Amino acid sequence: MRLLALAARRCLWMPPTLLGLTLIVFSISHIIPSDPARVLAGENAPIEQVEALRRKFGLDLPLPQQFFRYVTDVVSGNMGISLYTQRPVADDLLERLPATFELAIYAMILAVLLGLPLGVVSALRRNSLLDHAVRVVTISGLAMAAFWLAILLQLLFSMKLNLTPVQGRIDGWGPDPITGFYTLDAVLRGDWEMLGSSLRYLALPVMPLAIPAMATIVRFTRAGVLNVMSSNFVFYQNAMGLPRRVVIWKYILRSALIGTLTQIGLVFGNLLAGAVVVEAVFSWPGLGTYAYNSILQSDYNAIMGFTLFTGTVFICVNLLVDIAQAVLDPRGR
């Protein structure tokens, strides 16, 4: 019952949070000195055509009325029509969702598999050569911009060594989707050539997303383990003569990883945001590329649709993290 109450309280905050997010993005997007109707019609289009496009998409209405109209449409399940693709924004987002999620999930898996062990070992061997090396790597990973790292990796592995493809998601045209996740679809079809092709295209775009995420997980894991190791109950377990591995695995890690679990939820949301620049560099056909093109085209509906969708995913992920944290740590209930 307490977990249900926790989930209900978090869900109650979702509508006002999304409304505030929509208002902020709507205000910022309309401050930009750009006319989407003129962009869509072309620089040499007559003024009558531009005005007709403004009336068609409701851009001639006062801003408060445009915002109220947009919120009303979203509540009814309509995110509007993209000025650039001339398709419903919801359809565009759903079509590109699997590509971005596949990229983010693989980056998250890689970050967790590397970050947790490195953070634990770094804490257990505090101030050793390994600890200093891990801290240098994590600080570098946090300091490097994702787009800069993506370009460097592309120049090295694609241009110089010719080991990975430069851009795209798979060789040739993509297959008819089952789930939209090419690696999963390849396994379901038993098409191992398709699986190898999709993994080759995934290898490089995953790295610029995984490295900063891994650095964050390492730092929080290390800090959590060091904090728990100085607790009285750990001193007591050591004084009782329990084997070191039992103390570490049974007592230290369970308490130390609670904070890291929260950060993993936040990191996943950051991966979706960071995918915008990484997908643009690798021409990855996901939500990030869609958002990037929408910004260039001043496509208000697409920009707000992407923001709302990303915000909803971020809130849902954090809700799951809060529930998992309450299960692991009864004090959080």
pLDDT tens digits for range 6-23: 777 777 877 888 888 788
Mean pLDDT of 45-55: 78
| pLDDT category of residue 106 using cuts at 50, 70 and 90 | very high
What are the backbone angles phi and psi of residue 81, rounded to the nearest 5°? -105, 135
Beta bridge partners of 81: 88
d(C-alpha 23, C-alpha 140), whole Å:
36
What is the mean predicted confidence (pLDDT) over 152-157? 88
pLDDT of residue 331: 57
Say if residue 169's pLDDT is above 80. yes
pLDDT over 80 at 59, yes or no: no
Q: Between vectors from CA 116 to CA 114 and to CA 117, what angle results, nearest 5°?
A: 75
- Identify the pLDDT of residue 33: 66
Q: What is the mean pLDDT of residues 326-330?
A: 67
User: Rounded distance, CA 167 to CA 147, Å?
Assistant: 14
Q: What is the 3-state secondary structure (H, E, C) of 151-213?
A: HHHHHHHHHHCCCCCCCCCCCCCCCCCCCCCHHHHHHHHCCHHHHHHHHHHHHHHHHHHHHHH
68-77, 206-215, 292-301, 323-332: range with highest mean pLDDT: 206-215
What is d(CA 294, CA 96) in angstroms, rounded to the nearest whole number?
13
Contact 225, 120 (CB under 8 A): yes
Residues 307-310: contacts with CB under 8 Å, at least 24 apart: 307/21, 307/22, 307/25, 308/18, 308/21, 308/22, 308/74, 308/79, 309/93, 310/269, 310/272, 310/273
Which residues on neighbouring strands pair with residue 88, listed in sequence order?
81
86-112: average pLDDT: 89
Tokens in use for 167?
């851009």
Q: Which domains does the chain have, with CATH numbers?
A: 15-75 (no CATH), 98-332 (1.10.3720.10)
More confident residue, 162 or 106: 106
Mean pLDDT of all residues in 128-153? 86
Q: How far apart are CA 64 and CA 103, in angstroms?
A: 37
For 66, half-sphere exposure in the C-beta direction (CA atoms, 13 angstrom radius) is 19
Q: How many whole angstroms separate alpha carbon 110 and alpha carbon 164?
A: 18
CA 315 from centroid of its chain's CA atoms: 12
Strands (E), the chain: none
Widest Cα–Cα separation across the chain: 85
Query: What's the token pair of residue 286?
Result: 């996901």
Q: Is 303 left (phi over 0), alpha (psi -120 to 50) or beta?
A: alpha
Task: Give per-residue pLDDT as tens, 283-323.
Answer: 888 888 888 888 887 787 888 888 888 888 888 887 777 77
Among the residue ranges 45-59, 128-142, 292-306, the one predicted with the least confidence is 45-59
Least confident of 16-25, 30-39, 181-190, 297-306: 30-39
Which positions ≥6 away from 176 have C-beta within 8 Å?
none
With tokens 């790292």, the residue in question is: 149
Kindly report the average pLDDT of the chain as a whole number.
81
Average pLDDT (238-244) is: 71
